[in-house]
A and B are shown apart, each in its own frame.
Chain A
Amino acid sequence: MMELQITWWVLIGVLLLGYALLDGFDLGVGALYLLTKDPEERKRLIYSIGPYWDSNQVWLLTGGGAIFAAFPMVYATVFSGFYLALMLVLFALIFRAVSLEYQHQLDSPGWRKWWDLGFGIGSLLPSILYGVAVGNILRGIPLDAKGGYLGDFLSLLNPYSLVMGLVSLCLFAMHGGAFIISQSDGALQQKARRWARAAWLALIPLFLIGTAWSYLGTPRLFGNYLSVPLIWVLPLIALIGLAYFPVALKGGRAYAPLSASALTIFGLLSTLAASLFPYIVPASNNLANSLTVFTASSSERTLMIMLILALIGLPIVLTYTAYIYRTFIRRGRSVSTGNHFSVKS
């Protein structure tokens, strides 16, 4: 049973990491979208993520469904506890999806202006709020004995969690910038380099502040690193990614920055997960009320059946996802051709 619970904890980590890596770049592109007013450039940005944003987003839905199935207590506590924050994320994602598809449907500047705004803000807001949510989980939230959230909406917006929100925004912006670099050329690519660099520059101090604050505010997060020194490799990976990013930006290689930002995201997320284990949602008022990998899971049978389903389903998904990326991603191509019949008609 314990092996199964840990397996599911890892699997959900994989799903959320998949979301951060894949939707991370298109959320980042969406946030950076607000920085250019040039219609041609905006069009190229939309085209660069057009074929994938929808399936990228499904990683979130799969992660959500998997949490519901494998750790229903976590799903119930977090989703009801973060009610208003989640509603904001929802509305942002709704506007974002519709903006992406509707933005290019009519050839009118007024029409486009509104959907552009919907796309930009719809990308910006979740990028920040995910970080805020993570910050609150790291710090712990007040829970009753049944796992019900005892705090209110405003206490979620504490300074520590807001810093984490900015960290995640910078991280996604950096990742999105790196993606644009890999998919564009000329002036747009130069711009993307500047954006990615700015995001990296902002990320470094925020990252340091966040780490120090975590150490001072929540020493519990560092316990695992003392008992299992091997996991130091995770923050190390994050640091390597962060250090390599500016180097990668200088070289002419298209995919180097993207690899560096992906490495950073992987390192940071797994560092957080390793810090929290075995807690999934620590209770700040009384640690005994926390939801852990071992207390919040579904039954053994459900975990087992779900595991079989996941082992069948995930390889299939990865196969056709890889196929579709290969079909569309040619350096520069997917942004420069722009032969998309739904745009032209």
Chain B
Amino acid sequence: MDVVLLSRIQFAVTAGFHFIFPPLTIGLSWLIVLMQTRYLQTGEELYQRMTRFWLKIFAITFVVGVATGITMEFQFGTNWSEYSRFVGDIFGGPLAAEALFAFFLESAFMGILIWGADRVSKKVYWFSSLMVAVGSTLSALWIIIANSWQQTPAGYHIVNGRAELVDVKAALLNASTVPRYLHTVDGALVTGAFFVMGISAWYLLRRREVVFAKKSMKYALTLALVASLAQIPIGHMHAVQVAQTQPEKLAAIEGHFETEKGASLLLFGIPDEKAGVTHFKIGIPKALSLLATDDLNGEVKGLNAFPKEERPPVFLPFLTFHMMVGLGTFFILFSLWGIWLMRKGTLQDSPLFLKLALWSIPLPLIANEVGWIAAEVGRQPWIVYKLLLTVDGISYTVPAWQILASIILFVLVYSLLFVVWFYLLRKKLAAGPEAFATAAGANKTGTGVGV
């Protein structure tokens, strides 16, 4: 089998699986900081229980992110050694910085959060939760910097066939760093908010822990609304940047084949790569031009304007991008509905909303994944945009069978991890926040509350 294809599959599997967890923990970590802050301010027992309960869920999830993150750091060397040789001068820096400035912070203070409830003062405990949130959000920053450099390289020159750093600021703050970072972290906040919202809804549906669940719901719903609304300007900013710096990608995610002025924004369509057209188009006239160029009659380049061998595949970016946009719209409408119900005071009596909230838990995770697929497939065939082809980035010394063997193992091990994580999550949810009923919950021993 083909080493390039196998390595791409391996990267997609390991990164795609890893990417379930960090957005969830980033979002959750900020909600926990909020609850901790309220606890510090008021000293109310409810806030302490909230922290402890959500922290428990957080811890179970965090470790899967940590464990699968190690793979990511090794993988550039194991499977993409030619790529690593080419970009090491620039790409390695953010990875090292991530470990030094973010991983250490989150993992060290995570130790206090999990094991130190009875060892440190309330203030130190609060500070630790803040550091975990800051650490995980900074970690995302460094990764996005590295990834953005691949998308829109800047601040380098090519010496002896390698990219060497010339301008640090330009490399770090390349064209796509800021929009992609805001887009990704905001997506993480939506993910955490919907997660807490859905679980709170589950308790409300069962009339369990109503006070606890209503309070958690209030925090989550507020965050869900703010964060999902924020995606409108952020998403727009990102789209404009893609239009300017990666026009092929924009054309691919929009299924836009012919260069035209006053291009319409597709709501639906079936792109046909071979024929170079999109069938059954339903679109908003001139909207694509407006979004991409801030001008109703602005020109938007179509895929046919680019050489065939430099065009990204169309179907997958088109599909995943439109899924993401659709989900994003749903998040806004659903949060608005929830806020409206909450203001009326009938939220806990609306089983339809609560059930939908529960079933919506995976939707932001799916939005993250499809958004990522659109971004990464949309930059093919380049591993570093316009500088290095994906086919030229592989480890030429690794035989295909070894990669295949490792893919099979990854799929088995990761599936197992997912099943165990989900099982444990359900157990903890079923046990519920009652398990943290006493103020001195940390010192309660031998309660037999095993689950």
Contact = CB atoms under 8 A, between A and B. Distances in A.
Q: Do A and B bind each other?
A: yes
A66 B103 CA distance: 14
Nearest to A153: B402
Given A75-B84, A345-B431, A83 B450 contact: no
Contact of A65 (B59, B96, B109, B450): B96
B82 A324 contact: no
- Chain A CB within 10 A, most for which of B56, B104, B105, B435: B104
Interface stretch (B25-33, B38-46, B325-333, B391-399): B391-399
Interface string A287-308: 0000000000011011001100
A13 to B, nearest CB: 15
Interface in A38-72: 47, 50-52, 54-55, 57-58, 60-62, 64-72
Interface string B144-182: 000000000000000100001110100000000000000
Contacts of B435: 345
A108 B427 CA distance: 13
Contacts of A226: none
A69 B447 CA distance: 50
Contact of A302 (B68, B93, B103, B111): B93
B64 A98 contact: yes
Interface string A89-131: 0110111011011100111100000000000000000000000
Q: Chain B at the A interface: mostly helix, strand, loop or mixed?
A: helix
A102 B422 CA distance: 12
A204 interface: no
Interface stretch (A167-175, A207-215, A263-271, A313-321): A313-321
A344 interface: yes
Given A65-B73, A72-B89, A328 B115 contact: yes
Nearest to B449: A345
Q: Chain A: interface residue count, which band? A: 35 or more
Nearest to B433: A345
Given A55-B111, A61-B103, A68-B76, A97 B67 contact: yes
Contact of B85 (A50, A72, A299, A302): A72
B267 interface: no
B447 A62 contact: no
Given A83-B398, A341-B441, A105 B60 contact: yes
Given A69-B88, A80-B397, A101 B165 contact: no
Contact of A149 (B59, B73, B397, B445): B397
B222 interface: no
Contacts of A94: 67-68, 70-71, 413, 417
A37 interface: no
Contacts, number: 263
B304 interface: no
A324 B64 contact: no
Q: Chain B: interface residue count, which band? A: 35 or more
Interface string B68-103: 101101101111011011011111110111111101
Interface string B98-137: 1111011101111110111111100000000000000000
- Chain A CB within 10 A, most for which of B52, B70, B79: B70
Contacts of B98: 65
B70 A83 contact: no
A327 B119 contact: yes
A142 to B, nearest CB: 10
A340 B93 contact: no
Interface string A308-345: 01100110010011001001100000000111111011
B442 interface: yes
Contact of A299 (B81, B87, B164, B397): B164
B111 A52 contact: yes
Given A79-B81, A148-B397, A324-B112, A68 B92 contact: yes
7 contacts: A51-B111, A65-B100, A73-B85, A79-B77, A94-B417, A148-B81, A341-B52
Interface of A: 47, 50-52, 54-55, 57-58, 60-62, 64-73, 75-81, 83-84, 86-87, 90-91, 93-95, 97-98, 100-102, 105-108, 146-150, 153, 298-299, 301-302, 305-306, 309-310, 313-314, 317, 320-321, 324, 327-328, 337-342, 344-345
Given A80-B78, A320-B109, A327-B119, 11 more contacts: A62-B99, A80-B77, A93-B67, A153-B402, A299-B159, A306-B93, A317-B108, A321-B104, A340-B115, A344-B441, A344-B449
